[in-house]
Amino acid sequence: MNACVAPRAVATLLDVTTTPAPDRNYRRDGVHGRLVHELGRRVIDGRYPIGDALPTETALVDQLGSGRSAIREAVKVLTAKGLVKARTKVGTVVQPESCWHLLDPDVLAWRYQNDPSDKQLEDLGGVRVAFEPEAARLAAGATDRGGIAAIQREYLLMEQTIDDPDEFIGHDLAFHAAIVHTGGNQLLEQLSALMSAAFAAARQVHTRNVRRNKRTLAGHRAVLDAIVGRRVDEAAELMRVLVTGAQHDIRRDLRSRPRGDAHARA
């Protein structure tokens, strides 16, 4: 377990907006963090349209009430995230979406906090469907007994909290995080943490459906058994069934809840 990715998955789930900024390397409350988030959101939201230039640095200084150094440092960060590109005389222009570093934690959060489209949620789920089965396969082949014990522990907690959706979803995420962690692939682990954070940010998909949870519990159990039994192909296939099922559930929810309507059926 480490301080920056794995345990966060659980903690960031329940209250995304209220959490100050525990896992970022800069303080959101300082001038720098505030500027980065403000400008970043404006770009992602389309308030600064693609192809257009941001206000000039001096204009931003006036509008945002901070020094030019702070503005420049923030813009440089956005540049590093692929959102904008600065050129002398032309200005700082917003790059096309294909340039954005969508796998950057901030970009992902900004994108999925702000009323993500169905397509965007579909893409997000697609990534989960892609890597979760492989993570289960790796976990099933792993020799890390402690890791497998952690998976088992989280499964049991899921069983115990089946009637409390908020608790349950936390252990659900922890179950998947434990599997990815046990798999031992750093890149997949980061990817998993990113996806979890994005799903948590996209509050559309926060469903608290006890009946559905009870149904998926069996699927989780099957995955667990396959991992414990070292049946790698079976673990992968069962996990695939599980996450595609979740993907279908999300699709159904989105269809029945046209748009902009968060927290339905609480």
Partner DNA sequence: GTCAACCATTTGTGTGACGAATGAACTCGT
Partner DNA sequence: ACGAGTTCATTCGTCACACAAATGGTTGAC
Q: Quick one: CA dihedral 107, 42, 34, 15, positive or negative?
A: negative
Q: Check binding of 232 to a second copy (CB under 8 A).
A: no
Burial class (CB in 10 A: 0-12, 13-18, 19+), 50: middle
Ramachandran bin of 209, using left for φ above 0, alpha for ψ from -120 to 50, beta for the remaining angles: beta
Task: Please work out the total of residues on this chain that contact DNA, with binding judged by CB under 7 A.
Answer: 25
Nearer of residues 226 and 239 to a second copy, judged by Cβ: 239
Nearer of residues 170 and 183 to a second copy, judged by Cβ: 183
Q: What string marks each residue from 57 to 86 as x (binds a second copy by CB under 8 A) or -?
A: ------------x--xx--xx-xxxx-xxx
CB 147 within 8 A of CB 185: no
Q: Check binding of 184 to DNA (CB under 7 A).
A: no
Smallest Cα–Cα separation from 224: which of 162, 168, 166, 176? 176
Which of the ranges 84-92, 116-124, 147-155, 223-231 carries the binding residues for DNA, by CB under 7 A?
Answer: 84-92
Q: Check binding of 57 to DNA (CB under 7 A).
A: yes
Give strand pairing partners of 93: 53, 85
Distance from the first to the final alpha carbon of the chain: 33
CB 36 within 8 A of CB 106: yes
> Measured from the CB of residue 31, what is the shortest distance to DNA in angstroms?
3
Residues forming contacts to a second copy in the complex (CB under 8 A) are 2-6, 25-26, 32, 36, 69, 72-73, 76-77, 79-82, 84-86, 95-99, 101-106, 120, 122-124, 126-127, 129-131, 133-135, 138, 185-188, 190-191, 194
Residues forming contacts to DNA in the complex (CB under 7 A) are 26, 30-32, 53-54, 56-58, 61, 65-70, 72, 75, 86-92
